[in-house]
Amino acid sequence: MRMYSDLAWIWPIISPPEDYIEEALEFTRIIKNNRATMLHLGCGGGHLDRTLKDHFKITGVDLSPTMLELAEKLNPECNYQIGDMRNVKLKETFDSVLIADSISYMLTEKDLQKAFQTAYDHLEPGGLFITYAEATKETFANNKVSHSTHQQDSLDILFIENLYDCNPQDTVYEAVFMFLIRQEGKILALETDKHTLGIFPLRTWKETLEKVGFEAIETKNSICNIPLFVAKKTF
């Protein structure tokens, strides 16, 4: 995925830390325990952590070294490590675990279960795990296009995103990204990227959380009204 490697420099411009403040504050309200420890799986460029770190002691894990470099630069006080949310094993446990938008990279029910198991294994008894479903089978709008424009110094970026489910029978869909990059004195650059993302029926989320041992409640992410799960490790 170019967005998390050679195009990672674009990430802070098209999706800046300020865009994550509300979401981070919502997680803070749910967890209610300031100064708790938090494991953030799939922490990306650390944009959520930028706000979360005022409330929690954060350990972030991500597959992409380039994204982790950005995260470390933004949040030098957090502890970042390379790892895959499906199998990473750290030596400590945490009061809370978060998997935000990066859960979308779980492409099969088996992978979803592995990520939830990682969360479970790294929680203290009584700890909370938060995650959410950006897309579900029930509500997916096929062939949706969105765009946004971004400006930084002499750089102008037009970002276009297209979401497409080629086969509603399987558990994946594709996100195609186009970037039109204009910079003073340079010719127009057109960059593209394609990500494969997971999509499941809503009930799969709750059933899979329960399968690994969580007591889960489904609520709504109040910012974009998508299903959000608060799961407790009861013992």
Q: Which residues bind ligand SAM (CB under 6 A)?
A: 4, 20, 42, 44-48, 62-64, 67, 84-86, 100-102, 105
In the complex, the smallest distance separating the C-beta of residue 26 from ligand SAM, rounded to whole angstroms, is: 13
| Contact indicator for 17, 51 with CB cutoff of 8 Å | yes
Long-range Cβ pairs for the range 141-145 (8 Å, 24+):
none
Q: Which residue is nearest to ligand SAM (CB)?
A: 44
Which tokens go with 51? 């706000």
| Displacement of CA 198 from its chain's centroid (Å) | 12
Long-range Cβ pairs for the range 83-90 (8 Å, 24+):
85/41, 85/42, 85/61, 85/114, 85/115, 85/118, 86/111, 86/114, 86/115, 86/118, 87/114, 87/118, 88/41, 88/61, 88/118, 89/118, 89/121, 90/39, 90/59, 90/61, 90/122
**CA contacts within 13 A on the Cβ side of 92:** 13
Which tokens go with 42? 């799939």
In the complex, the smallest distance separating the C-beta of residue 102 from ligand SAM, rounded to whole angstroms, is: 3
In the complex, the smallest distance separating the C-beta of residue 235 from ligand SAM, rounded to whole angstroms, is: 27
In the complex, the smallest distance separating the C-beta of residue 148 from ligand SAM, rounded to whole angstroms, is: 15
| Displacement of CA 127 from its chain's centroid (Å) | 20
CB-nearer residue toward ligand SAM: 46 or 227 = 46
Helix (H, G, I), strand (E, B) or coil at 40: strand
In the complex, the smallest distance separating the C-beta of residue 186 from ligand SAM, rounded to whole angstroms, is: 27
Please give the single-letter amino acid code of residue 59.
T
CB-nearer residue toward ligand SAM: 108 or 149 = 108
In the complex, the smallest distance separating the C-beta of residue 78 from ligand SAM, rounded to whole angstroms, is: 11
